[in-house]
Structure 1
Amino acid sequence: MADDWRNGGFGLYVHWPFCEAKCPYCDFNSHVSRNINQKQWLDCYLSELRRSAGETPDRVLNTIFFGGGTPSLMAPETVAAVIDTARALWRPANNMEITLEANPGSVEAGRFAAYRDAGVNRISMGVQALNDDDLRRLGRIHTVSEARAAFDIARSCFDRVSFDLIYARQHQTLDAWRAELTEALSMAVDHLSLYQLTIEQGTAFGDRYALGKLHGLPEDDSAADMYLATQEICETHGLPAYEVSNHARPGAESQHNLIYWRYGDYVGIGPGAHGRITLNGQKFATETHLAPQRWLGAAANGNGETVRTEVTRQEQAQEYLMMGLRIVEGLDIERYCALSGCSLPQDKLDHLTQIGMVQCQDGRLMATPDGRAVLNAVIRELLG
């Protein structure tokens, strides 16, 4: 079991914590700052890369993902140096996927070409809505026309381009979402991430919701109808779901996110980045300082981590189950049993199978389309 992580692969996540504005629905670790010392950030990223690679030598690096925040605010030279250093510290896979998240408001043709030249080969763009009124409600600083222009720039520079949309927005109807999704699919290259709006504590939307001031949210049944319509429409257009919220043409799935869902190992560097790394047969969960300046100071002193926690075999089995059931391919039952030391509860499997929530096939356990629609309940049943 020392090499269990190999079943999922090995990736690198780099967190850039800065945005031009804080969106009211966002609970990610993002901050607005007008003065960013790119050289200081690069020095600390490279220091953390060297520290992490010293612990995980001789691994093949399958993916790099620049997340945020808004990584398209990073200087292309910073991105290039991180990629070059990671390639030198680990053995790069022949088909290494290197993704950078971008917001339409921060996209320039010259900058995107520079990211491509730096080694980025996939862009994930946060469009979020194809309706200017809803973009304003979501706190986005771009318009639909700017999003389309940015998307065209990305498509001219990169073969692989994904974009995100949020549905179940305020005052949104099922028919309106169907029309918007169909429009999005006419633009899509090979991948879409489609998320239902969730109201998180600690966000501006969360505060408004608690005060009863967030009006027009769809009822649960309406939101469920939007989810089901999403699956149907994307399937018809050749981008079937491969994960609860992600749709792709076959072969265009996000390889980095599949490392998470297949329960591989990944190094996380940057403020608030999480990681899972296996050292001497023991898997650890890693966390870093949330505040950018605190992380910078700690990384400059040799270690940006705050917590490193052993993940027990039982916890690994539970995490693998929770991740694996998110993807259409499901999880390997034998691998689950090896991690947990026991079999899945047969009576619960039988019940969930009978009511059409899961299926077992070729040694794998998969949630059905109906099961993925209520996945949290399915997972609670299996782990309860």
Structure 2
Amino acid sequence: MVEPTALILPDTGEPGFGIYVHWPFCAAKCPYCDFNSHVRHQPVDQARFAAAFLTEMKWLRAISGPRTVTSVFVGGGTPSLMDPATIETILNGIARHWHVPQGIEITMEANPSSVEAERFRGYRSAGVNRVSLGVQALNDKDLKFLGRLHNVEDALKAVGLARDIFPRMSFDLIYARPGQTIAAWQAELKQAISYAVDHLSLYQLTIEEGTPFYGLYKAGKLLTLDDDQAADLYEATQDFTCEQGMPAYEVSNHARPGAESRHNLTYWRYGDYAGIGPGAHGRLTRGRQKLATVMERHPERWVELVERQGHGIIEEEHLENDAQADELLLMGLRLREGVDLARWQTLSGRSPDPVREQNLLDYGYLERLGNSRLRCTPAGMLILDAVVADLAC
């Protein structure tokens, strides 16, 4: 059983082993969202889904072998639509299949529109010690534009409850919204930080294919900020959060020292993680290979697959060392701490191309941290994909 504790273990700097559980249901689909989320107008059979999560855990435990879990993340979708008893069942199942020490980070995503004090206390009793709130904006006009079901009053109530009940909390904001100015965004950030928040995830609005916003954008009915305006907002974000004691430790994530998300660090440090539930992805080491797993996205089809064969895996790929090296570089250069060069060289069997690396150093896009690590500069973060592509060649 997962025991609730106010202690969250400190970051060791190691990649760790995480468990990700995906709850795919939402009360409504936001027009910008391309995540695997689904709206159901009839009550979801939570007992059936919880049983399927437990069944899939057993399958993945057979692949991973005995491991010590360093973080759990229940994402979605909107996990705060689940009953606390469902969360408790899931967490207790994880503890039966892997070793879960007291004090590891256990995060659950929540939307302000589905928050009640009693439910939050139920999640806390089940073992959740960190909550991530999908606030997205701190003015009602933009919340309506983003299709959110809550208003600012709901959001601030949820933030207050989370602050009182959970040892750690974070919330998300979306910026580069149409017409947004640097001054308005800085005021919103200042307001966000004033609520004693220790972690913020700050994402630029992107128009993803297949979303309602994409259709409006293609029809010329949604005007977005141009690249220069978005870059100016990104730079202003970095400067302001740093001044406020919440510097970026990853491209889009900011924290007070010690409050960085342990689970997301596992991804970016290229650790192993078991992905459980509809559409979940996983990376599990087997010998010299990593097994990449992808689960069926459609919730009801996923349940049927699990009930029939013990898991919902629809894609498996055995990643050889060179593919692992590329993923390590792609993920690690997102971090302010950068990439462990020795680990990258062990996987890739080579050193970075000296000419390409020197060019990136000369242009001010990369920097060395002694002889052991390589990281992007703030300028390099603006063109991260290009830097990764150039260095990986």
Once the two structures are superposed, residues 5-49 of structure 1 have per-residue CA deviations (whole angstroms, 9 ceiling, x without a partner) of x95111100000000000000000000013200100110001111
> What's 1:258 paired with?
265
Aligned partner of 1:190 in structure 2 is: 198
Amino acid corresponding to residue 164 of structure 1 in structure 2: D
1:219 to 226, 233, 246: 226
Q: Does residue 95 of the first structure (1) align with residue 90 of the second (2)?
A: no
Percent identity, aligned pairs only, is 52
Superposition RMSD in Å? 1.1
Match of 1:294 in 2: 301
TM-score (norm 2): 0.94
Is the 8 Å Cα contact of residues 344 and 382 (structure 1) preserved in structure 2?
yes
Checking the alignment, whether the CA contact within 8 Å between 1:263 and 1:324 is kept in structure 2 is yes
Q: Deviations over 1:120-162 (max 9, x none)?
A: 0000000000010100000001000110011111111012000
Count matched residues. 378
Runs of 4+ aligned residues of structure 1 deviating over 6 Å after TM superposition are: none
Which position in structure 2 is the counterpart of 1:71?
A: 79
Q: 2:186 aligns with which of 165, 178, 183?
A: 178
Conserved? CA contact 1:167–1:177, under 8 Å:
yes
Determine the C-alpha separation between the residues in 2 that align with 1:188 and 1:49: 36
> Residue 187 of structure 1: SS of its match in structure 2?
coil
The residue type paired with residue 380 of structure 1 is A
Provide the residue aligned with 2:92 in structure 1: 84
Name the SS of the counterpart of 1:60 in structure 2.
coil
SS in 2 for 1:272: coil
Query: Which residue among 203, 228, 235 is the counterpart of 1:228?
Result: 235
Q: Is 2:303 aligned against 1:328?
A: no
Q: Cα distance, 1:361 vs. partner?
A: 1.5
Counterpart-to-counterpart distance in 2, 1:365 and 1:179: 34
Cα distance between partner residues in 1 of 2:375 and 2:167: 31
* Map of 2:5 onto structure 1: none
Taking the aligned partners of 1:303 and 1:378, their CA distance within structure 2 comes to 37
Shift of the alpha carbon at 1:176? Answer: 1.0
Match for residue 46 of structure 2? 38
Are positions 1:339 and 2:354 aligned together?
no
Q: 2:382 is matched with which residue?
A: 373
Q: Does 1:167 align with 2:137?
A: no
Work out whether residues 288 and 321 of structure 2, in 8 Å CA contact, stay in contact via their aligned partners in 1: no
Tell me what 2:248 maps to.
241
Amino acid at match of 2:315: V
Gaps of 5+ in 1: 1-5
SS at match of 1:142: coil
Using the TM superposition, give the Cα deviation of residue 188 of structure 1 relative to its aligned residue in structure 2, in angstroms: 4.0
Shift of 1:242: 0.2
> Which segment is superposed worse, 89-98 or 189-198?
89-98
What SS does structure 1 have at the residue aligned with 2:70? strand
Q: Does 1:145 align with 2:153?
A: yes
1:281 to partner: Cα distance: 3.1
Match of 1:3 in 2: none
Q: Distance in 2 between matches of 1:188 and 1:40?
A: 38
Displacement of 1:364: 0.2
Q: Normalised by the size of structure 1, how large is the TM-score?
A: 0.96
Q: How many Å apart are 1:54 and its aligned residue?
A: 2.0
1:50 is matched with which residue: 49, 58, 62?
A: 58
Give the CA deviation at 1:280.
Answer: 3.2
What is the aligned partner in structure 1 of residue 26 from structure 2?
A: 19
